[in-house]
Structure 1
Amino acid sequence: MRITEMNENYNHQHQDVRTEKGVVYGDLAEFMDFEYLRKNTAMNPASLANLAKSPGMPQEVRVEVRSLTNGTQLSWKAPAYGKVKGYYILMRETTSAVWQKKIFSASTDIKLPFSKDNYFFAVQSVSENGNESLPVVPLPGR
Structure 2
Amino acid sequence: MVEAVTIGGVGFGGVNRLALIGGPCVIESEAHALSLAERIKTIASRQNVPLVFKASFDKANRTSLQSFRGPGIDEGLRILDRVKHELGLPILTDIHEATQAAPVAEVADALQIPAFLSRQTDLLVAAARTGRPVNLKKGQFLAPQ
Q: TM-score, normalised by structure 2?
A: 0.24
Structure that is richer in strand per residue: 1
More RCO (CA 8 Å, sep 6+): 1
Q: Is the radius of gyration larger for structure 1 or structure 2? A: 1
Q: TM-score, normalised by structure 1?
A: 0.24
Structure that is richer in helix per residue: 2
